[in-house]
A and B are shown apart, each in its own frame.
Chain A
């Protein structure tokens, strides 16, 4: 089983749609959780950290379920510029700085 698993997609949605991505991780000792986005042939960019209580940043909402070892990202009112690959990232364990990267979920927002 992979340490971080994501549905690769692609997700094709119209502008204005709401889309949700899910991610599972295998190590119950992981303590840091992130969503990054990566545009084609560009570097990954931090979208948001994921807190235990869930957090929101504008149109983006992230949730963490430690019991199920599950992270989600919800994007409301999708824009064309949201088209990218979304990467789920967790740290190995505890204070370990090594991050484990999912393979990403591809999103295409269509006009």
Chain B
């Protein structure tokens, strides 16, 4: 059973370009979560999605950032017009739909995408 997959692992963009980060959840998992981690800082929640629905985007910056989880294909975190402050590690996690209170809240992480904005 493959784990959570993210690509690319490393992404370099110049200021003003767009960054697209992809996440494929674990097989059988229905929910996807995106987090951002700045160097030497903690994990910050951004958004969580179920297929075709955004459930909670309270951690997403109001502008330039968007996320989707289409019916087919991976979840995408899109950052438009990147700035140097967007440089960070972006982690995706997934969890199952059901399984009791504990198990569906357990989140399993992908290896992350390290975004560098020049």
Binding site for B on A (CB under 8 A): 31-32, 34, 41-46, 49, 51, 87, 91, 95, 97-104
**Which A residues are in CB contact (< 8 Å) with B55?**
97
Query: Given A87-B43, A102-B42, does the pair A32, B110 have CB atoms closer than 8 Å?
Result: no
Binding site for A on B (CB under 8 A): 31, 33, 41-43, 45, 48, 55-56, 58, 89, 91, 95, 101-102, 104-112
**Which A residues are in CB contact (< 8 Å) with B48?**
97-98
**Which A residues are in CB contact (< 8 Å) with B112?**
42-43
**Which A residues are in CB contact (< 8 Å) with B89?**
41
Which of B58, B91, B105 is the one whose CB lies under 8 Å from A97?
B105
Which of A31, A87, A98, A101 is the one whose CB lies under 8 Å from B56?
A98
Query: Given A43-B110, A43-B112, does the pair A101, B42 have CB atoms closer than 8 Å?
Result: yes
